Each structure stands twice: as structure tokens, then as C-alpha cells.
């Protein structure tokens, strides 16, 4: 409960902050761990646009070339801006069946703060605990922040956010 409260405070504080300059955030450590374990060479926005170095110390080496080859259907705008086409999180997430009330509450919070989806890739997984992993790039227009969210879908069709608040790394093994 303490972790949930702390995370909520951090999210709300970052949403209320009104900065003129774009802010780019990489996926959580847990999300990057999952992507590495699945050998998905996703390169986050701040690493694609050069504001941060490319994450190369994981199990799976990331590179711009591997990202472009893997995501060859233009799922992600390479350098997103406020002009990048988007869809409201509330509309985008309507088809999801969340694992529990906490996940649903997180989704509703994103809708309340007018989060926009600017890129998306659903990757089907075979022969394991999960049916798919979904990489979702987002933008908060009010404070010009960009982020990446990772959802895992269970074999029964429920989705949950991959983050420190709800799931620990040991649960993926």
C-alpha cells in the first residue's frame, strides 16, 4: 500500500508540473527486464531521439538497427512530437480486460489526466505463461511528457501493467 501511495504521488506530481520542454521517460526496470527476457529489441523514445544513451547492458543488446527491423510496420513514430497522431487512452483501453481493480484504477487515472497513445505494438507470445506483451508509447499533452507502458496479457485474456508497484521481477520467472 505504501508503494502504491508513493507511486501515485510521483505520477500526480509529474502530471501537475507544467514544463515547456519535452520530457522523455524510459520504461520501468521491470518492463525493460521483460522485453530483454523476450528478446524484443525495443528502443525507447529518449534513446531513439538521442536524449539518453541506448540501453545496452541488458541480456539482449538493443540497437536502432534491430529496433527498425523488428518494428518494421511503423508502429512507433521515431521522433514523436505534439503533432504525432494520437488516440485518447480511454478509447484505446476500452478493449482491455484488466486483471484486478488496481489495474483498472490505474487505467482510469490515465484517462482522467488525458493521456494519449502515440504508438503501439502487440506481440503474440507462444508456449508460455502469457499470451501477449503490448508496448504502448504515450504522451501527456499538458506537460509534454512521453513515456512507454508495458502490458502483459494472461492466457485467459486479462492484462496488467508491468511495474514495480504491482509485480516484482521474480513473478516473471
- Domain limits at 126? 2-168
Whether residue 91 is contained in a domain is answered as yes
The total number of structural domains in the chain stands at: 1
Average pLDDT over residues 29-47: 89
Q: pLDDT, tens digit, for every residue of 130-140? A: 999 999 999 99
Is it the case that residue 165 has pLDDT exceeding 70?
yes
In the numeric block, the cell 508491468 is attached to 162
Whether residue 173 is contained in a domain is answered as no
Distance CA 138, CA 116 (A): 5
pLDDT at 131: 96
Is it the case that residue 155 has pLDDT exceeding 60?
yes
pTM recorded for the entire structure? 0.82
Is it the case that residue 1 has pLDDT exceeding 50?
no
Q: pLDDT, tens digit, for every residue of 79-118? A: 888 889 999 999 999 999 999 998 999 999 999 999 999 9
Whether residue 54 is contained in a domain is answered as yes
Amino acid at each position: 500500500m505504501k508503494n502504491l501511495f508513493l507511486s501515485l504521488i510521483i505520477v500526480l506530481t509529474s502530471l501537475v508540473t507544467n514544463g515547456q520542454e519535452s520530457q522523455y521517460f524510459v520504461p520501468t526496470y521491470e518492463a525493460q527486464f521483460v522485453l530483454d527476457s523476450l528478446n524484443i529489441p525495443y528502443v525507447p523514445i529518449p534513446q531513439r531521439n538521442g536524449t539518453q544513451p541506448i540501453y545496452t547492458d541488458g541480456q539482449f543488446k538493443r540497437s536502432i538497427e534491430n529496433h527498425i527491423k523488428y518494428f518494421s510496420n511503423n508502429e512507433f513514430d521515431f521522433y514523436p512530437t505534439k503533432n504525432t497522431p494520437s488516440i485518447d487512452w480511454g478509447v484505446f483501453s476500452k478493449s482491455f480486460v484488466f486483471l484486478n481493480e488496481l489495474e483498472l484504477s490505474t487505467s482510469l487515472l490515465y484517462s482522467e489526466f488525458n493521456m494519449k497513445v502515440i504508438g503501439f505494438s502487440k506481440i503474440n507470445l507462444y508456449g508460455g505463461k502469457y499470451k501477449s506483451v503490448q508496448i504502448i508509447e504515450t504522451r501527456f499533452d499538458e506537460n509534454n511528457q512521453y513515456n512507454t507502458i508495458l502490458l502483459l496479457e494472461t492466457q485467459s485474456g486479462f492484462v496488467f501493467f508491468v511495474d514495480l508497484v504491482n509485480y516484482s521481477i521474480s513473478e516473471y520467472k
